[in-house]
């Protein structure tokens, strides 16, 4: 029962996050390491809502890692 309740709450939170990310104008983009299921990736991320927006260039990645 407890697991079902938690999963239900998680779905509600995921829907709220998706709605906020959809409404966000993504005005501040930053390069960050983001977690995947098995690794981390370097991506452009909206600083306000956390949505992954794109891929930095090879040079930008090298500069980020310095």
Name the token pair of 49: 């809502």
Residue numbers of the domain that contains 6: 2-65
Cβ atoms of 61 and 33 closer than 8 Å: no
Residue 49 makes CB contacts below 8 A (sequence gap 6+) with: 17, 20, 21, 24, 26
The pTM assigned to this predicted structure is 0.78
pLDDT given at position 41? 94
Q: Write out pLDDT tens, residues 5-23.
A: 999 999 999 999 999 999 9
pLDDT at 63 over 80: yes
Average pLDDT over residues 33-58: 94
Q: How many domains does the chain have?
A: 1
pLDDT given at position 65? 92
Distance CA 8, CA 47 (A): 27
């Amino acid at each position: 029962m407890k697991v079902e309740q938690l999963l239900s709450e998680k779905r509600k939170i995921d829907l709220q996050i998706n709605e906020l990310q959809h409404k966000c104008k993504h005005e501040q983009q930053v390069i960050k390491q983001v977690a995947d299921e098995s690794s981390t990736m370097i991506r452009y991320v909206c600083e306000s809502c956390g949505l992954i927006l794109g891929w930095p260039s090879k040079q930008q990645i090298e500069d980020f890692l310095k």
